[in-house]
Amino acid sequence: MENAVVLREWFDRVDAGRTGNITAPQLQSALAVGNLEFPLSVVQQMIRMHDFDRNGTMSFEEFLALNKFLQKVQSVFSTLERGHGFLNLEEVYEALIKLGFSLDSPAFYTVCEHHYLFNTMLGRSQSFDKSKKGMVRLDEFISLCIFVQSARNLFNSFDTNKQGRVTLDFNQFVYCSANCRI
């Protein structure tokens, strides 16, 4: 309960206009104060992931859901980083499994490589392993988790029978392609 009070105070400071909602740039600035620096595209994905009322901003309740997700991700990261401040790719894979993302090894490496190539094509420096040394910092790991969770959410919207498989027609595929942004 005390945590909710602290989070409410933090949220109200970020919501300078007292609208009851915060925007992606406001959230980005606030996260940077806590040494979590993300490109605006990742912060926008955070909001989309928890924007239950689909208004493009984040209410306090939606912020609580995001905070819960981030706390879980940070906790798993902390248990595996062993004081180094980073995870190697094998530890990243292990962390994703601990978080319930059951990617097989080829899918994991494809996601990492695709994300790097996608951002390079767009002229962005963002990737999950910025140093290219197999060392992933917390902010990079959070970005990866945001991407995978968003992909899971999109997949689940088509997996209405909860069978772990979907069949898409071309229009649905185009919709998925357009909504896979990070």
First to last CA, the chain: 33
- Whether the pLDDT of residue 17 is over 80: the answer is yes
- Whether the pLDDT of residue 182 is over 60: the answer is no
Q: What is the pLDDT of residues 23-60, one digit of tens each?
A: 999 999 888 877 888 889 889 999 999 999 989 999 99
Q: What is the pLDDT of residues 65-107, one digit of tens each?
A: 999 999 999 999 999 998 889 999 889 999 999 999 988 888 8
Of the candidates 19, 16, 20, 73, the one whose C-alpha atom is nearest the C-alpha of residue 46 is 73
What is the structure's pLDDT at 145? 92
Q: How confident is the model at residue 109 (pLDDT cuts 50, 70, 90)?
A: confident
Q: What is the pLDDT of residues 114-171, one digit of tens each?
A: 555 434 433 434 445 454 556 888 988 998 899 889 888 888 888 888 888 888 888 8
What is the structure's pLDDT at 3? 83
Do 149 and 69 touch, CB atoms closer than 8 A? yes
Scanning 20-137, the segments in alpha helix (DSSP H) are: 24-33, 40-50, 60-81, 89-98, 105-121
Q: 2-179 is classed in which CATH architecture?
A: Orthogonal Bundle (1.10)
What is the structure's pLDDT at 180? 61
What is the structure's pLDDT at 83? 87
The Cβ-side half-sphere exposure at 105, using a 13 Å CA radius, reads: 3
What is the structure's pLDDT at 46? 92
Q: Which residues neighbour 97 within 8 Å (Cβ) at sequence distance 6 or greater?
A: none
pTM (two decimals): 0.81
What is the structure's pLDDT at 179? 66
- The angle at the Cα of 78, spanning 141 to 106, to the nearest 5 degrees, equals 40
What is the structure's pLDDT at 123? 41
Chain-centre distance of CA 104, in angstroms?
19
